[in-house]
A = this chain, B = another copy of it.
Amino acid sequence: MENTEQHKIEYLLPEEIEKRSFEIISEELVQRGIQIPAEEEFITKRVIHTSADFDYVQTLCFSNGAVTIMKDLIRKGADIVTDTNMALSGINKRALSKFGGMAHCFMADEEVALLAKQRNMTRAAVSMEKASAIEKPVIFAIGNAPTALIKLYELFRETGYKPAFVIGAPVGFVNVEAAKELILGTDIPYIINRGRKGGSNIAAAICNAVIYQL
Chain A residues proximal to chain B, CB less than 8 Å? 1-4, 7-10, 12-14, 17, 20-21, 24-25, 49-53, 84-86, 88-90, 120, 122, 147, 150, 153-154, 171-179, 181-182, 185, 195-201, 204
* A200 contacts B10, C-beta separation under 8 Å: no
User: How many copies of this chain does one complex carry?
Assistant: 2
A63 to chain B, nearest CB (A): 18
Most chain B beta-carbon neighbours within 10 Å: one of A147, A172, A201: A201
* B3 contacts A178, C-beta separation under 8 Å: yes
What are 21 sample pairs from A and B whose C-beta atoms fall under 8 A apart?
A2-B182, A4-B178, A4-B181, A9-B179, A9-B182, A12-B174, A12-B175, A13-B120, A14-B147, A25-B173, A49-B172, A52-B172, A52-B176, A52-B195, A52-B197, A52-B198, A84-B90, A86-B89, A86-B201, A90-B200, A201-B201
* A172 contacts B21, C-beta separation under 8 Å: yes
A72 to chain B, nearest CB (A): 27
Q: A154 to B195, alpha carbons, bound, how many Å? A: 41
Not counting A1-B182, A2-B185, A86-B86, a sample of 19 additional A-B residue pairs whose C-beta atoms are within 8 angstroms of each other reads: A3-B182, A7-B177, A9-B175, A9-B178, A10-B175, A12-B175, A14-B147, A21-B172, A24-B173, A52-B197, A53-B53, A53-B197, A84-B90, A85-B89, A86-B89, A86-B90, A86-B204, A88-B89, A199-B201
From B2, B7, B14, B197, give the contact of A51 (CB < 8 A).
Answer: B197
Nearest-neighbor residue (CB-CB) of A198 within chain B: B52
Q: A83 to B195, alpha carbons, bound, how many Å? A: 29
Nearest-neighbor residue (CB-CB) of A25 within chain B: B173
Whether A173 contacts B52 in the complex (CB less than 8 A), given A89-B89, A182-B2, A204-B86, comes out as yes
* B174 contacts A50, C-beta separation under 8 Å: no
B residues less than 8 Å from A84 (CB atoms):
90
* A174 contacts B3, C-beta separation under 8 Å: no
Q: A177 to B52, alpha carbons, bound, how many Å? A: 12
B residues less than 8 Å from A2 (CB atoms):
182, 185
From B13, B173, B178, B199, give the contact of A199 (CB < 8 A).
Answer: B199
